[in-house]
Structure 1
């Protein structure tokens, strides 16, 4: 089973999630949006799994810096364009492992991967 974690390496939540996987000896590859890139095809695949609303990190600095008009006019197309332009706005981490797709980090969800 191949496991891939998507995110940005300097994110504290990514660091916690990586540490969890490493401590449980769960092999994974890490895809850093900034270093490894992010293309529209991958973004559309992830959006199909989670929906754009779940993917937009509304608690992060990037989202808070948007104007009220930008926030109110977000839709699937504008959100995907924004995520391509500013990957930091994507909720992290995104984990794909076999038939399991997770967004965000919850230790219990990660523990279930090994079951």
Structure 2
């Protein structure tokens, strides 16, 4: 079964992850948030495995562009999901659905352990 990889093609971390997957001949399907926005159902499914806090990328440009009021309003899964649905680029990238669970970001050691 191919992995499902979610992200944005021009994100440097996504590029590193896709390069690693290609070099290690790991089969995957890529879902670009710009072309295929995520759904509430997807967010809720992911949140059964990883916390809503870990899905919100607070280091990225999209988060920093939010007003301090909007940032302060992200206090639980419901409020986070509303923001994430309106700003898919704020979801930690890449997000990989693998047989061994959700993987967030790019960590070569974690990839080696969970994807090979």
- Which residue does 2:96 correspond to in 1? 95
Unaligned runs of 5+ in 1: none
| 1:58 CA displacement | 0.6
1:68-95 Cα deviation digits (max 9, x unpaired): 2222221211110111111011110111
Residue 41 of structure 2 corresponds to residue 64 of structure 1: no
Residue 49 of structure 2 corresponds to residue 77 of structure 1: no
- Which residue does 1:17 correspond to in 2? 17
TM-score using structure 1 length: 0.92
| 1:48 CA displacement | 2.0
Higher-helix-fraction structure: 1
* Aligned mates of 1:109, 1:21 — CA distance in 2: 12
Alignment: residue pair count: 114
**Stretches of 4+ aligned residues off by more than 6 angstroms:** none
Contact kept, 8 Å, 1:2 with 1:98, in 2: the verdict is: no
- Which residue does 1:36 correspond to in 2? 36
TM-score using structure 2 length: 0.91
* Aligned mates of 1:101, 1:88 — CA distance in 2: 18
Query: Which 10-residue stretch deviates more, 69-78 or 3-12?
Result: 69-78
* Aligned mates of 2:85, 2:77 — CA distance in 1: 12
Secondary structure in structure 2 of the residue aligned to 1:34 = coil
1:21-58 Cα deviation digits (max 9, x unpaired): 00000111101111122111111111222111001111
Alpha-carbon RMSD across the aligned residues, in angstroms, is: 1.1
